[in-house]
Amino acid sequence: MLEATSNASEGETGGELPPIPGKRYFTIGEVSELCGVKPHVLRYWEQEFPQLSPVKRRGNRRYYQRHDVLMVRQIRNLLYDQGFTISGARQQLAGDNAKYDASQSQQIVHQLRHELEQVLELLSR
């Protein structure tokens, strides 16, 4: 369950988001960097998208899991790349799970390929 996309957010010059590391929990700052979205935007999206609900612990600190990071990237894609409004993106996520699953599968394949290329490079040294 690894993932990367080739979507650039507004103001980004690079085209590809970094791969998601193999850890269980991510802070809001880490998710911000992994998804190219500012932390205040992530907090706003939590209010607007019921699918996005990170675990909250000590002092209301947010801890995102891998599925949350994938959801943030999907929301980001709908809003920034495909031009959906917030309500349109919410409807798209709520009513079109098959398209989301296909997109997520494509992103997982892309990530696996990237990681295999890195392993191949290490082995060929």
Query: Which domains does the chain possess?
Result: 28-123 (1.10.1660.10)
Q: Which residues of the chain have pLDDT under 70?
A: 1-15, 96-104
Per the structure block, which two tokens stand in for 48?
């607007």
Distance of CA 125 to the CA centre of its chain: 32
The per-residue pLDDT for 3 is 38
Furthest-apart CA atoms within the chain: distance in Å? 50
Residues near 27 by beta carbon (within 8 Å), at least 6 away in sequence: 61, 62, 63, 64
Distances (CA, A) of 48 to 41, 72, 121: 10, 12, 42
Per the structure block, which two tokens stand in for 5?
């996309």
The per-residue pLDDT for 97 is 57
